[in-house]
């Protein structure tokens, strides 16, 4: 079905799905595509998209997670709920080599930050990384990661920093320290919005649930000392969860709303198999029985948050001429 639509002020003609959703534009042959097709998620390859007269939103994902293909699929799934046409590009940092993802995959679907830093993007997502116990300055790629953070300030309309990246971003930009926790914050927790009037929370219920999987936290008192930082969601059990800065150009999110239903299950059973100390994820399995299928409480909030971010903080704020993005 062909429809003529205005996209970023430009009248265009593009093919859309029968359900009226615009496709996510992904690298041709990306492994996640086959899995997402089974979930009726509409995607389009770079080659086909380049033939259309449309300016899609450009979204970069700096994937720092060890299991990169799984993380790609999680974020693509959650981004697919937007009615906007989005071109997703995967970024890596030159100073780190992934040990858990085939080199061929990285070469085919990722570009080094060094190659991308002269370009501008409407949105950026920086994922978490299992580095809670390491001082930031001791992270092998810390220097290059700081360069990415600084680049995002002037080359990206809005950025989401997830879990460890949220802690790292708060430390880099605002000097907010992280603290290791006695026990891992692990499970699905209830959260409260502290600024429910913000567009990022449009459509949310009075409380929402989100998975956490981390060994560190930030303290409210440290954030409240910093002008321009606003805690907009927290949890009695999991602490500070979402911090906003620069009128929505930065969101620091300590939870994992992108997680699939079985991610916490996989992490729990992985650590058990390695005889690592790990508690049962809280509020996750029915009756705390790890043989049961987990209860998913966070899907609606996850879809809403990322859709609201794309719509209100990326699409409605980014200039039509992407080169006009400024600090």
Instruction: Give the residue extent of every domain in the chain.
Output: 2-180+216-261
CA distance linking residue 249 with residue 234, whole number of Å:
19
pLDDT of residue 31: 83
pLDDT of residue 221: 98
Contact of 61 with 127, CB cutoff 8 Å: yes
pLDDT of residue 25: 81
pLDDT of residue 59: 97
Q: Is 2 a catalytic residue?
A: no
Pairing of strands 239-245, 250-253: antiparallel
Q: What values do phi and psi take at 34, rounded to 5?
A: -60, -45
Strand residue runs (E) in the chain: 2-7, 10-15, 24-26, 43-45, 57-62, 86-92, 110-112, 121-126, 156-162, 179-193, 207-217, 229-235, 239-245, 250-253
Catalytic site residue from 163, 212, 215, 255: 163
Q: Is 244 a catalytic residue?
A: no
Predicted TM-score (pTM) of this structure: 0.87
pLDDT of residue 48: 66
CA distance linking residue 131 with residue 176, whole number of Å:
17
Residues of the chain with pLDDT under 70: 1-23, 40, 42, 47-53
Q: Is 256 a catalytic residue?
A: yes
Which two structure tokens, joined as six digits, stand for 111? 């570009």
pLDDT of residue 13: 27
Of the candidates 104, 124, 105, the one whose C-alpha atom is nearest the C-alpha of residue 113 is 124
Q: Please write the tens of the pLDDT for every residue from 76-92.
A: 999 988 888 899 999 99
Cα 275 to chain centroid, rounded: 30
pLDDT of residue 10: 31
CA distance linking residue 151 with residue 253, whole number of Å:
20
Quick one: DSSP state of residue 22? P
CATH of span 2-180+216-261: 3.40.50.880
Cβ burial 206-218 (10 Å sphere, 16+ → b, else e): eebbbbbbbbbbb
End-to-end C-alpha distance for the chain, whole angstroms? 40
């Amino acid at each position: 079905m062909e429809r003529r639509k205005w996209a970023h002020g430009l009248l265009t003609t593009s093919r859309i799905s029968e359900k009226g959703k615009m496709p996510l534009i992904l690298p041709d042959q990306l492994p996640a595509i086959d899995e997402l097709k089974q979930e009726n998620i509409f995607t389009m390859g770079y080659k086909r998209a380049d033939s259309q007269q449309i300016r899609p939103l450009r979204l970069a994902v700096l994937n720092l997670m060890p299991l990169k293909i799984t993380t790609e699929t999680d974020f693509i799934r959650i981004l697919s709920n937007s009615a906007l046409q989005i071109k997703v590009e995967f970024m890596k940092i030159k100073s780190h080599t992934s040990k858990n993802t085939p080199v061929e995959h990285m070469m085919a679907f990722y570009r080094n930050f060094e190659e991308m830093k002269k370009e501008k993007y409407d949105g950026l997502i920086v994922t978490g990384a299992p580095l809670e116990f390491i001082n930031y300055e001791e992270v092998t790629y810390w220097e290059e990661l700081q360069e990415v953070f600084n680049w995002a300030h002037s080359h990206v309309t809005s950025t989401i920093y997830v879990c460890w990246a949220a802690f790292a971003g708060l430390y880099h930009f605002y000097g907010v320290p992280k603290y290791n926790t006695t026990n891992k914050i692990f499970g699905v927790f209830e959260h409260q919005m502290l600024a429910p009037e913000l567009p990022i929370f449009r459509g949310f219920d009075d409380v929402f649930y989100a998975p956490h999987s981390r060994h560190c936290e930030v303290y409210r008192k440290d954030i409240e000392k910093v002008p321009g930082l606003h805690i907009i969601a927290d949890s009695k059990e999991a602490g500070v969860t979402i911090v906003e800065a620069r009128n929505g150009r930065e969101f620091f999110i300590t939870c994992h709303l992108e997680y699939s239903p079985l991610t916490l299950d996989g992490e729990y059973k992985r650590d058990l198999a390695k005889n690592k100390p790990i508690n049962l994820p809280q509020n996750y399995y029915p009756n705390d029985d790890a043989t049961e299928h987990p209860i998913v409480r966070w899907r609606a909030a996850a879809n809403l948050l990322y859709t609201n971010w794309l719509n209100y903080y990326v699409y409605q704020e980014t200039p039509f001429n992407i080169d006009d993005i400024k600090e």
